[in-house]
């Protein structure tokens, strides 16, 4: 079966949510991927459109993801792209999910120390309430809205 494999480079937008389900551990988080381009008129780097993906991890990848990632960290995710469309309350929406095969820190932004996980090691239970996974419709975010913020270092490329 042919599947669409993607490699996305971006930042962790929400704290990973870890769950123990019947099929084994599962974790998910939102990832923000912002295109950057050189604006010749302004002679500076400029942020383009930001895409948000819900990243799903299962089994040991889920346990390691929940124990390793926090909001704002630069990550690289490889996995199967799943695009869904639906109609809710008369509104049409589309979501893009990545069923992750591999997740890692982006070493272009800093260092990371690898530690092999032991068999008995499990992720800590979530301490925060479930985040709102709904992406607001285009143009509905008011100026000053703090629901989705990019870390300050994401705006500077050297």
- For residue 73, count other CB atoms closer than 10 A to its CB: 15
- Asked whether the predicted pLDDT for residue 65 surpasses 60, the reply is yes
Tell which phi-psi region holds residue 127, choosing left (phi > 0), alpha (psi between -120 and 50) or beta.
alpha
- Of 1, 13, 16, nearest to 65 (Cα)? 16
Over the stretch 80-95, which tens digit does the pLDDT of each residue have?
Answer: 999 999 888 889 988 8
Domain boundaries of the chain, sorted by first residue: 5-155
pLDDT value at residue 93: 87
CA 10 to each of CA 71, 84, 105, 107, 146: distance values in angstroms, whole numbers, following the listed order: 11, 21, 10, 12, 19
Range 5-155: architecture per CATH: Beta Barrel (2.40)
Give the lowest-confidence range in 100-109, 113-122, 141-150: 141-150
- Asked whether the predicted pLDDT for residue 62 surpasses 60, the reply is yes
């Amino acid at each position: 079966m042919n599947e669409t494999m993607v490699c996305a480079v971006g930042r962790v937008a929400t704290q990973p949510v870890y769950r123990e389900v019947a099929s084994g551990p599962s974790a998910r988080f939102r990832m923000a991927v912002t295109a950057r381009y050189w604006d010749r008129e302004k002679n500076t780097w400029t942020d383009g459109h930001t895409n948000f993906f819900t990243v799903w991890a299962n089994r040991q990848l889920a346990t390691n993801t929940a124990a390793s990632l926090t909001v704002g960290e630069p990550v690289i995710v490889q996995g199967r792209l799943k695009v869904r469309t639906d109609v809710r309350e008369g509104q049409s929406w589309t979501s893009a999910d990545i069923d992750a095969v591999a997740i890692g820190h982006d070493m272009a932004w800093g260092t990371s120390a690898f530690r092999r996980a032991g068999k008995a090691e499990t992720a800590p239970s979530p301490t925060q309430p479930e985040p709102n996974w709904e992406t607001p419709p285009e143009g509905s975010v008011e100026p000053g809205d703090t629901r989705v913020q990019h870390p300050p270092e994401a705006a500077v490329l050297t």
